[in-house]
Amino acid sequence: MIQIPKGETAGSMEGKVALVTGAAGGIGRASAEAFGARGAAVACLDIDRNGGEKTAAAIAEHGGSAAFIPCDVADEAQVEQAIAATVERFGRLDYAHNNAGVEGPVVPLTEVSRADWDRLLSINLTGVWLCMRAEIPLLLESGGAIVNTASASGLVARPGGIAAYVATKHGVIGLTKGAAVDYSAAGLRVNAVCPGPIATPFIEDLADDVKEMLLSLTPIHRFAAPEEVGRVVAWLCSDEASFMTGAAVAVDGGVTAF
């Protein structure tokens, strides 16, 4: 008989280890802090040392255990070294949030340069694949879980010159589903989170008319706080979501409800 986790212990991550890429800010920092709040030790991976160290320090200030580990997810050697360093530091790996990504240029598809296309793919899609390839053997040992950051733009397309970005995020969902089918029977769950517009410096710097356009496409009519996505990521990794795999979970204020 399958034992269904119940009570406060169902969401506890005491004694577990989580890895978050793109942990220097935004959703990555929020999910790292959510893992820490549930009791997990957290490896905070990013190319931004200052931001990554601040995330680790914030977790430690609240009584958790965390370490910054430098990593460019588009670099195969750095990914392997960072995940090895995580295990060396904390002794195991139970959860992975493959979150690092870039937005890319906002231009018509025919004006996307090959360099920009390659950069988007290398970080948003190949970076997720490189991380998963290194994480999966460890997570099969621990019976862990992966969450990949896709986007509401991985579920639908929107006008406005982001077709290349949309392609990479659709790819993340396809990679997530394929891995879930391949590995869930072996005890590894793999899901994706699909955020809508998030209150980040990128959004704050947009022109007012662009912000209003984004809000008009969001039924809740506000931008999400990164923490609203970070908590979902930690929940998807927890035993509370033990029957969820291969899902692309929209945390988008209703953007994809249209």
Domain extents in the chain: 13-198+227-250
Two tokens, residue 3? 């034992």
Is the confidence at residue 120, as pLDDT, over 50?
yes
* Range with the poorest average pLDDT among 6-15, 130-139, 246-255: 6-15
Task: Yes or no: say if 171 and 129 are a contact pair by the CB < 8 Å rule.
Answer: no
pLDDT attached to residue 213: 86
Q: CB count, 10 Å around CB of 258?
A: 9
73-107 pLDDT per residue, tens:
999 999 999 999 999 999 999 999 999 999 989 89
Catalytic residues: 165
Three-state SS sequence of 6-66: CCHHHHCCCCCEEEEECCCCHHHHHHHHHHHHCCCEEEEEECCHHHHHHHHHHHHHCCCCE
* Full-model pTM: 0.94
Residue 126 per-residue DSSP state: I
Please write the tens of the pLDDT for every residue from 28-56: 999 999 999 999 999 999 999 999 999 99
The predicted structure's pLDDT at residue 214:
86
Place 158 in a pLDDT band, splitting at 50, 70 and 90: confident
| pLDDT for res 3 | 46
Q: Give the pLDDT confidence score for residue 9 in this predicted structure.
A: 57
Identify the DSSP state of 186.
G
What does the pLDDT look like over 193-231, one tens digit per residue?
999 999 987 788 778 888 898 899 899 999 999 999 999
Residue with tokens 């392609």: 167
Q: Which pLDDT score is estimated for 10?
A: 58
pLDDT, mean of residues 116-142: 98
- So what's the pLDDT on residue 6? 47
Of the chain, the percentage scoring pLDDT greater than 70 comes to 96
Whether the predicted pLDDT of 7 surpasses 70: no
Topology annotation, domain 13-198+227-250: Rossmann fold (3.40.50)
